[in-house]
C-alpha cells in the first residue's frame, strides 16, 4: 500500500512584476532564505484581506524599489514547488506586466536586507542564476514584452 503523508503545507500567492522600460526589464539579486543570491523580478506576497493583484504589484514595487507603477496587466500564472528547501513551500506566482508612471524614474534599493540592488536587463541577456520561478518560465519560452 502507498502511504501518502498528508503534510499540512499551505499554498501561498505571490505577485511578480515584469517592469518594462524600452527593451529592458528590472531585476534584482535576492538576499533571502528563498532563492538567495539569484536574480528575481520585483515580487511579493499577496497580503490577506482586500488587496487586488494590481494593488499588490504596485505596493511591492514601491516597497522594494521606490518606483511608481503606471499601466499594469496580468500576463500568466505559474505553480512553483520549493519542496527541497529547509522549509518546504509552494507558491502560485501571478506574473504582471507593468510600465513606469514616469519612465525617467530610477529604482532605489529600499530593502537592502532583501536585495543586493536593482538593474535593467535585456530579455535576451538576462543575468544568471535566475530565481527558480523566473528560470522556469524562461525555459518555457515566456516573454513579457508586447509582441
CA 67/CA 100 separation, integer angstroms: 7
According to CB under 5 A, which one of 38, 43, 65, 80 is a site residue for Mg ion? 43
Buried b (16+ CB within 10 A) or exposed e, 69-89: beebeebeebebeeeeeeeeb
- Does 44 interact with Mg ion (rule: CB under 5 A)? yes
Cα(101)–Cα(120) distance, integer angstroms: 17
* Residue 39 preceded by cis peptide, ω within 30: no
Q: Which stretch binds Mg ion (CB under 5 A): 2-10, 35-43, 116-124, 128-136?
A: 35-43
User: Among the candidate windows 19-27, 38-46, 86-94, 116-124, which touches Mg ion by CB under 5 A?
Assistant: 38-46
Phi, psi at 85, each rounded to 5°: -85, 165
Pick between residue 60 and residue 98 the one whose CB is nearest to ligand IPR. 60
DSSP 8-class letter at 130: B
Which residues are near ligand IPR by CB under 6 A? 14, 16, 32, 34, 43-45, 60, 80, 91, 93, 133
> Between residue 73 and residue 132, which ones bind Mg ion under the rule CB under 5 A?
none
Give the residue at shortest CB distance from ligand IPR.
Answer: 44
Cβ distance to ligand IPR smaller for residue 23 or 32: 32
Amino acid at each position: 500500500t502507498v502511504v501518502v503523508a498528508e503534510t499540512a503545507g499551505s499554498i501561498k500567492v505571490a505577485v511578480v512584476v515584469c517592469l518594462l522600460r524600452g527593451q529592458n526589464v528590472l531585476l534584482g539579486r535576492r538576499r533571502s532564505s528563498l532563492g538567495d543570491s539569484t536574480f528575481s523580478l520585483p515580487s511579493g506576497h499577496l497580503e490577506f484581506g482586500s488587496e487586488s493583484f494590481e494593488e499588490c504589484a504596485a505596493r511591492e514595487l514601491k516597497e522594494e524599489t521606490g518606483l511608481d507603477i503606471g499601466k499594469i496587466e496580468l500576463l500568466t500564472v505559474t505553480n512553483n514547488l520549493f519542496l527541497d528547501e529547509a522549509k518546504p513551500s509552494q507558491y502560485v506566482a501571478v506574473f504582471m506586466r507593468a510600465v513606469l508612471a514616469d519612465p525617467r524614474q530610477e529604482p532605489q534599493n529600499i530593502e537592502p536586507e532583501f536585495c543586493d540592488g536593482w538593474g535593467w536587463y535585456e530579455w535576451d541577456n538576462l543575468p544568471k542564476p535566475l530565481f527558480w520561478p523566473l528560470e522556469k518560465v524562461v525555459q518555457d519560452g515566456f516573454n513579457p514584452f508586447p509582441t
